[in-house]
Amino acid sequence: MSQLISRRKILIGAVKTGVGLTTLRTFNAQSIIAFSQVAQATSDRYQAAYQRLDEYIARHMAEMGVPGMTLALADRKGLLRASEYGFADVKAGIKVAPQTLFEIGSISKSFVAIVILQLAEEGKLDLHKPVTSYLPWLKIESKFSPFTTHHLLSHTSGLSGVPLLLRASGTTLGVSSEPGTNWVYSNVGYDLLGFLIEAVDKKPFADAMRQRVLNPLGMNSSSPVISNEIRERLAVGYAPLQSDRPFPIRGKLGEAPWIEVPEAAGSIAATAHDMGNYLQMLLNNGAGAKGRVLSDKSFALFTKPVIKSPFRGEEASYAYGLWVSETNGHKLLRHTGGMVAFSSVMYADTTDGLAAFASVNAARLPGGYRPIPVARYALALLSAASAGQELPAAPPPPPLPTFVKNAGDYAGMFTLQSSSAPSLSSDDKKLVLIGEGDQLILQHAGSRIALEQAGRDTFLVKHPDFELFTLRFGREKEAVTEAFHGSSWWTNERYSGSKKFEYPKGWDAFTGHFHSDSPWYGSTRIVIRKGQLLIGGDQPLVEVSPGVFRFEDDMSVDRVTFDTIIDGRAIHANVAGVDFYRAFTP
């Protein structure tokens, strides 16, 4: 039975045990932090920075409802500090320890790129030769030129961007654009690189990774693949307790399902200490404490921008398993990692010669959370301390979830136009919203509910009648004119568009709740609104043939198909290669 937790339960449990996240509010280093620090000739110049960072991390974890965190800081001489915070196992009250493993997710991709570049330097692999020449079993459906290893490394192969781990290597993979022309983040592409490593290096992927990267860098506590063998050493991972609906900040968490991950796209589990060794290598152009894993020439290729690709909204380019950017005169190597139950980030400032890695044992948090604020602030502190400058203040606390800028834009009465939701009450026919300062209030069923912002024109409504979908608003010439929730659609007096929409009645068979057995995907709901079939309540689908759809504004080969119609309802759906089955729940 999974141990179900919420932020409130974490705090209560901490009071009972005398340790844990309760102390995050007042900060007691003895009870929440375990750290190992490497003494260098630089003496104690970073001590004040560490203290300020620890205080910020304590606050940040409480704000985000994070169970545990691991952190590594390094410079060109090596590990500066490895520190651990909070719980590796909330139920057992076990704190994160120096030997606790955290899944680093897609940060693994840069490790894969290093092995590929080693093989290329040894003459065993041509980066610009079609991948099918090394993997003849690979089935590709494409009208374009063959993709190469270079294309896989840089996410320019044209393969699907769906976050699919390649469990069935014999499936036919589609290519949606000419290789080298578009950037589409593809886990499948990096999974293929794992197969490529095995084919060229003549050994299992895990052995190649350990022998070529982990061992030479002294990452002796880390694992090249996530398997049952390391489960006892791995922090327990947490994810939203109710994964079939929008998740609010500090919502309830539960233990995530255990899953082995042998695929190269995100297979590595590491300790903070070991990640410090990896950061040192990045800062020294491929040289670690025990020697080089990449020559200067190969490292230059490793970090050479291939194609422009924003990093979390910032201007950047993708190289081989890394985002590369020049920001305020500083060259940054960056990547994030998201797993079923872990979120990670890695920043290396090769100009200052400072780097940070952070990972938390929770995932699927609001806004696609990664511990980026921690890594950014750590580097800012280290940079200031190194230069003898005044330490920067901690980032300000995030606004309250109920803070809504320009709340008055959404105020007014909206009238229901259409809905397939069962048993609508008279209250549902009118949507009454009030702007009160920086809060947006929904009057519903005799209650006043403060909405929580979840994106532009998108809100969470903490009420059972609204918990399965976000409440979204549409605009005409910047004026808010309509509201959407699942299949329900309301308009106000400013709406000037059509109010009648037709759709093929056969689509009714496709609506409902569909569930995947994979913890990567959970479940989704299909609704019809304004004559459109929508997946997840928001993403429009375009029919290309009976029962087969593509994503609107997406010309990729990914398809959504429905079949096995029983009593007028589709029992099975396949979303870009992932199987979903009707859940028979709302």
User: What local confidence, expressed as pLDDT, does residue 452 receive?
Assistant: 95
Of 22-31, 97-106, 171-180, 534-543, the least confident: 22-31
Spatial distance between the Cα atoms of 376 and 356, rounded to a whole number of angstroms: 8
Spatial distance between the Cα atoms of 229 and 232, rounded to a whole number of angstroms: 8
Higher pLDDT, 26 or 136: 136
For residue 423, pLDDT beyond 70: no
User: What local confidence, expressed as pLDDT, does residue 104 receive?
Assistant: 98
CA angle 562, 339, 172 (to 5 degrees): 40
Give the tens place of pLDDT for each residue, 476-485.
999 999 999 9
To the nearest 5 percent, what fractions of the chain are helix, strand and coil? Answer: 25, 30, 45
Structure letter (DSSP) for residue 237: P
Spatial distance between the Cα atoms of 155 and 175, rounded to a whole number of angstroms: 12
User: For 407, phi and psi rounded to 5 degrees?
Assistant: -60, -30
Give the tens place of pLDDT for each residue, 1-42.
233 333 223 222 322 222 233 233 323 333 345 544 443 444
Tell me the CATH class for 407-491: mainly beta
- Per-residue pLDDT band for 366 (boundaries 50, 70, 90) equals confident
User: What local confidence, expressed as pLDDT, does residue 421 receive?
Assistant: 75
Beta pairing, strands 287-288 & 479-485: unpaired
User: What local confidence, expressed as pLDDT, does residue 36 receive?
Assistant: 47
**Strands, E assignment, 400-468:** 412-418, 430-436, 439-444, 447-450, 452-455, 458-460
Could you tell me where the DSSP H helices lie in 178-264?
A: 187-201, 205-209
Say what percent of the chain tops pLDDT 70. 90
Q: In the predicted model, what is the mean pLDDT of the chain?
A: 89
Q: Are 226 and 262 in contact (CB under 8 A)?
A: yes
- Per-residue pLDDT band for 167 (boundaries 50, 70, 90) equals low
Give the tens place of pLDDT for each residue, 458-478.
999 999 999 999 999 999 999
Kindly list the domain boundaries of the chain, sorted by start residue: 4-105+221-386, 111-205, 407-491, 505-582
Tell me the CATH class for 4-105+221-386: alpha beta
Give the tens place of pLDDT for each residue, 308-342.
999 998 999 999 999 999 988 899 999 999 999 99
